[in-house]
Structure formats: C-alpha cells, structure tokens
A and B are shown apart, each in its own frame.
Chain A
C-alpha cells in the first residue's frame, strides 16, 4: 500500500536535517514575509543545498506561502515563486487566492497545497480549489474524524493532509494585542511578545488551561491549550487513506519533535508492513509522554467531538 506521508515544518536547516533523520518524509519551510507561524526561516539560498539533500533521502520539501497577502507583497511574489520552482521544491502551500494568480504567471505547473487553516471544512470546496490547481487540501483542525474521512472518500484524486499532533492556532489578528496590552499598562520598556517569550493567556473562568500567545510581523497568534495526539488512533486515519500526517512543530523543543516523529514513523511503518496484524504499541506514546510539557494535555482535538452552532 501507499504509505502516508509524515510531514513537519522546520525552522532552520539544522531542523531539516534532524527531522528527516527522525523519520519525516516531508518538510515545509518558508520566510516570514510570505509564510505564517513558521518556527523560523529558511532562505532560498539555503534551500539550494537542502532541497537536493532532502531529495537524496527520499524526502520532499514544500514552501510555505500561506499568509493573507497585502498589495505590498504582490510584487515580491513572482521572483520568489520562480526561484522556488527552479530549486525543484515539491509544492507551494497557499491560502490566499492572490497567490494563484502569481503562480500562473511565475511558476506555472507548480504543485499547490491549499491550506486556509480553519476554513477548509468540506470536500466540495477542496475540490473547487483542486480545479484551480491544488493537488492537496490541508483540513481544518476543527473537523471530526467522520467529517475527515468523508472528505477523503469524496476526493480520490486529491491528497488530504490532517494534523495529527501538536498545537493549533485558534485566533489570528493583524493587531499587536500583547504589545498593546503592555502599552496600556505602561510597560512599553519591558515588552515581551515573541515566540520565545513563553507567553500564555488564562481565561479567568478556566484557570487550568494555558493558551500560548505571541506576536510577529503577521500580528498576534493565540494557540490551543492542548496538544492533539492521534498516535493511538492513527490506523483509523490510515484505513481512511489519509495521504499526509502533519506534526505541528511550533512552540516545541526540537528534541520533542524528533521523538514525536519517531513515534509516528514506527506506527506508519508497522501499519503499512501489515495492516491486518497492526497493533498500536503503548511504548510509542510513552516516549512522547515522557517529554510532554506536564502543563499541556495530549488530547484528540476535535476528532471525536460534535460541535453546535
């Protein structure tokens, strides 16, 4: 059977190496001017070496161009996309339809992954973006397992990526909310607001849940208080022919991400070697649990939930 891909975002060339060595089949990288919520930047010059390096090891390299673009970024896009294609990157990940126009002009034929974060929620819309050139849809994390599997069953010709592990973004603003709050308090001097500052919010009625928050040039990002972990249920997604499993690397130590990759690698390999006899091994998960931040629960996210509206 076709093995599902194990995917992770890398924030440096060092991370590309480590994550591939830990079992990743696909690495996403990018620059902050075009990509959102990257753990760090990898430049095109660096990719000149690292795309061939990854390809030699059978791994793919995708370029993250998924931010909501302003007019200002448009003129820079064609050169960037042209080079991405010359460097033989395996796909461009996009959300803004403006990028489609730029791709048509600068990098026609480039495979595209449609990732509109929390708004990719049904198979018809995924199929619509497929007709515009997307070869893959990255599903919203707020879908449950039934919805996820139904989407894949309706999209035999399109790849479907599902996040199976890690933190998720739950709120994105263009505003600088953390700096603004500190300015309101008169704390401007000591402004803490970045990815590395360990900031989190506690909603006053939910004292046990810590929601990480940080700012960057794309605004303010609030993240989930729990980490999705689908390792023990991964076979259900594999039975449903999900094409790519996404590990979210953001706000985690590199060593933790390596452990997570190794766990999922083992599960995928064991399942694909013999789907009939496959059994989940508790020790894969134990290795992750050992390194899990005790303040953050491992959960099934929305996979087994019903939401109302």
Chain B
C-alpha cells in the first residue's frame, strides 16, 4: 500500500521536475577540481588567495583558476570562488582588483557573505553571478526576497533550514536555492561562532577557524554554598569520572538516502562540503551522488537507493553521518560525545593513468603504500567497480618491485577488468595483508 501511495505521489506530485539539480563539489586544489569534475560534479567551488574562509587550504592563484575553468568547461561544468569572509577595514583595499581577477579567469560565480563584497562585485565584476553564502544564515523567505532585490542570483540557505522551510522558501520567492547535502557542519549558526578568536586569537570569520567546537569540555553547574559563615559559591561537575566529555561536535551531514524528497523540494543546487578533504573523498562522494541523481531522473517512479552508493559514502566518511536539520532538530544522537573512532576504513593508494587493453595492464600512479598480495578495489565514474588482489608490480623500466613505496611513482600491474584514466584504487586501512 505504502509503495502505491509513494508512486502516486511521484506521478501526481506538486512539482514535476525536469531539470536536474546541480551537483556542486568542493575543490581545494587544481587536482581535486579535476577529479570532482571528472567524477560528475556540475560545478565546483574553490578558494582564491584572499577573502576565503579556508586560509589553510591549497588555494588557487588566478592562473590556476583559469586552468580549472578551462578543464571544467570541457565537461560543461562551472567554477565558483568562495569569497565568503566577513571583511575588516583592512580587507577593503584590494577587493576590486581581486574580483576583476576572478572575473577575468572565467569563473562563473562568487560565494559571498559580506554585503560589501556583493556591492563591489556588482560594480567592478558584473559578469560574475553572486551566490549568498551560508555564512549569512538565511532562514526565511523575506530575507531571500531582500537579497533578490539586491541582485543576488542564488542563496545558500542556513544549514539549520528544514525540508519544510526550504519548500516554503521556494514557494514564496523565485530564487535559486542551494543547500548543503553532504559533509561536515558547523554546529553553530555559520558565522556566529568566535570560539577560535577566544581560544587561539585566530579569526574564524576570516578563515582562521581552529575547530574548537570539536574539542573536549567539562560541564559544571553553580550552586549557592551556605555551609560557611558567608554565602559562597559551589561548583559542581555535571559528569561522572567515566562519562564522555561535553563537545559541540556535530556528526556529518549525509542526504543521499533522501534525494527524491530533496529533488522534489525544488532545491536548485546540492552542495557537498569539504575543500580541505582529500581527492579520494571528493571523488567518492561526488560519484555516489552523481549516480543517484542520474538514476532518479532516468526513472523517477522506479527509483531506489542502491545500497552501494550509501556504502561508498560511508567508506569516505570521516565521522558518523546524519541528516542535520532536514527532518528534525538534532538530538543527542546527532552529536559526537564519544571518543571519535577514525571512521574512514579505506586508503586511497593509486590513480589509473593508462590502460592497455591488449595486455590487460594499467599504469597506476602511486598515492600511498601498496604491495603484492593486498586486496584492493578499483572504482571510477563510468562504472568501474571491482575488487582484486595486487599481483606482480613493476616500475616503468620493467623492474619488479616488492612494494609501491615512492609517492607518485608510475607502477605497471595487471588488472582483472578494464579501467580508465582517473579511476581510483584503494585498499582497506592498516598494514594487514
């Protein structure tokens, strides 16, 4: 019965959606950009040398931006640049030149929080689309209306918005809406946290975040102490010796199991978090969401989540996953109080550079240690997906190796099924065979 109802909803649903939502991926470096695009991102967002919130990321020069834009264009994909700081006085000089540089590099849009960057962009780099960052914590349709009147092209909603609130916003304002669907989350309202400033003198809203929300804290209460001659104060711990510590650490967002609802909500862009994440992470997550979105649009009525998509994103996950604020306000199960176990059980060990069909051999660029006898897994955007055991491996001169131990070394080995350039090779974590 339930299935029938669901099918009818799909067929008769309020919103018939013909256009796929954009799949937007993070690209912390030129290499990550290439992998994200090759694995199916419709757009990527990157950071430049200034004005972004990841001052530790391997940020792009204008030259690298240009190269990234050219690479993406071959796939019909776009590049956005995060300029999402809240500027201080000293940041204002230089902004015009910077935005002109981004525009000249062929970038499609900037992601902005501070209105002064919006205003400057409209004036000096009008070809750039303006996407309002989640740092503005936009939660209501009148605020979206305001930004529309200000010439903003897209709003990235606060991560606190529920599915129903997203639907209400879409219904009340004609505006492109982007939401985060996957990755790590600030547990605070974005931009409304200066823990870093207080603990480490690093300015969180200019890219200095030291992730203090992931640290361990002890919680106390205060009581009046009337035991002495004067009324004093008594501090009481709200934890026992063996209790987990208090933390503001949130589980990571994962919405791959709820793509049909998200698609029907009318959201225009699905964003994956993680400019600081590895190339393996980006490729794996993009690959899974790409396949799920494509499968849905190929046949919305019969769409079903394939367990391997979920399993794939779990393989890349750094933390336990949840659905954030989409269906409920997060409760105690949505936070990480327990000691974190390293969730990602797979190591990325190589990238396919070439494949010779006649001999069934591939050239693999080494990305981490591997050796004959280990079980490995190949995966790629065009359906490559199989396990095998590493057999004899050789360097390019044909010398047999006991292990692939040199970073970026080109290794020749037999593969059991055809592979393609950009396909990835990974193995279970740890040194066990």
Contact A68 B142 (CB under 8 A): no
Q: Is the CB of A302 closer than 8 A to any CB of chain B?
A: yes
State the majority secondary structure of interface residues on A. mixed
List the count of A-B residue pairs having beta carbons below 8 Å apart: 218
Please list 12 pairs of residues, one from A and one from B, whose beta carbons are closer than 8 Å in the complex, sorted by A's number. Answer: A69-B140, A97-B146, A118-B194, A124-B87, A125-B114, A128-B115, A177-B187, A181-B332, A182-B238, A198-B223, A308-B201, A309-B202
Select the stretch in A41-49, A168-176, A257-265, A268-276 that faces chain B.
A168-176
User: Which of chain B's residues 182-203 have a Cβ closer than 8 Å to chain A?
Assistant: 187-189, 191-195, 197-199, 201-203
Q: Is the CB of B372 closer than 8 A to any CB of chain A?
A: no
- Chain B: number of interface residues, binned into ranges: 35 or more
**Given that A129-B115, A170-B197, A309-B208 are known contacts, is A121 also in contact with B218, CB under 8 Å in the complex?**
no
Q: Is the CB of A287 closer than 8 A to any CB of chain B?
A: no
Contact B146 A98 (CB under 8 A): yes
Q: Is the CB of B62 closer than 8 A to any CB of chain A?
A: no
Q: Is the CB of B216 closer than 8 A to any CB of chain A?
A: yes
Select the stretch in B255-263, B323-331, B339-347, B356-364 that faces chain A.
B323-331
Contact B88 A203 (CB under 8 A): no
Determine how close the nearest CB of chain B comes to the CB of A198; give it in whole angstroms: 3
Contact B143 A200 (CB under 8 A): no
Contact B215 A204 (CB under 8 A): yes
Within the complex, which residue of A117, A123, A170 is in contact with B89, where a contact is CB–CB below 8 Å? Answer: A123
Q: Is the CB of B113 closer than 8 A to any CB of chain A?
A: yes
Q: Which residue of B lies closest to A124 (CB)?
A: B116
Select the stretch in A23-31, A70-78, A232-240 that faces chain B.
A70-78
Determine how close the nearest CB of chain B comes to the CB of A173; give it in whole angstroms: 5
Within the complex, which residue of A100, A142, A154, A210 is in contact with B194, where a contact is CB–CB below 8 Å? Answer: A142
Q: Is the CB of A119 closer than 8 A to any CB of chain B?
A: yes
* 0/1 string, A71-101, CB within 8 A of B gives 1: 1011000000000000000000000111011
Q: Which residue of A lies closest to B189 (CB)?
A: A172
**Given that A97-B146, A125-B87, A180-B330 are known contacts, is A171 also in contact with B194, CB under 8 Å in the complex?**
yes
Determine how close the nearest CB of chain A comes to the CB of B118; give it in whole angstroms: 8
Determine how close the nearest CB of chain A comes to the CB of B310; give it in whole angstroms: 25
Write out the residue numbers on chain B whose beta carbons fall within 8 Å of the beta carbon of A181: 219, 246, 332, 335, 337
Q: Which residue of A lies closest to B90 (CB)?
A: A147
* 0/1 string, B193-236, CB within 8 A of A gives 1: 11101110111011110001101111111110000000001000
Most buried by B among A71, A97, A140, A178: A71
Contact A308 B217 (CB under 8 A): no
Q: Which residue of A lies closest to B244 (CB)?
A: A184
Q: Which residue of B lies closest to A198 (CB)?
A: B222
Q: Is the CB of B119 closer than 8 A to any CB of chain A?
A: yes
Q: Is the CB of A2 closer than 8 A to any CB of chain B?
A: no
Q: Is the CB of B6 closer than 8 A to any CB of chain A?
A: no
Q: Is the CB of B102 closer than 8 A to any CB of chain A?
A: no
Contact A199 B220 (CB under 8 A): yes
